Amino acid sequence: MRHLESKLQSACVKWFRIQYPTYARNLFAIPNGGARDVVTGAILKREGVTPGVADLFLSIPRYTLNKEEFCAGLFIEMKFGAGTQSKEQKEFQASVEREEYKYIVVRTLDEFIDNIKEYMR
C-alpha cells in the first residue's frame, strides 16, 4: 500500500511543480515514515521526526476566496484506496488546524489537483 501512496504523492508533486513553477520549492515532502534501522530511527527521532505529521507541506499562506478564513499553509496527507488516518495523524491534523493551517487528505491525483487549484486561487 505504501508503494501506491508513494506513486500518488510523486504524481501530485510533479503536477504541482509543472503547474506552479514559481512555487516549486514551496511544496515539499516530510519524510516521516518508512522502514529504517534502529540507529537511523533514533537519530531521526532526536532530530524531530514526529509520528502523525502529514506527508507534504505547501508553505504558501492564503486567504479563502471570501477573505473570511486565513490559512498559514497547507498540510497534505496522502492515502490510497481505503487507507485511513492513524490516531497520531488525526491528532496532528487537529493541532495544526487550531493554528490556522489547512489540512487535507488526498486519495487521487484529481482530488489533489482540485484542492490545490482551490487553495491557490
pLDDT in tens, 72-89: 999 999 998 888 999 999
* Kind and range of the H or E run holding 27: strand 27-29
> How many other C-beta atoms lie within 10 A of the C-beta of residue 85?
15
Q: Look up the pTM and report it.
A: 0.89
Please tell us whether the domain made up of 2-120 is placed in CATH 3.40.1350.10. Answer: yes
- Dihedral, CA of residue 57, residue 94, residue 41 and residue 31, to nearest 10: -10
User: What would the pLDDT profile of 51-65 be if each residue is shown by its tens digit?
Assistant: 899 999 999 999 876
Phi, psi torsion values for 94, nearest 5 degrees? -60, -40
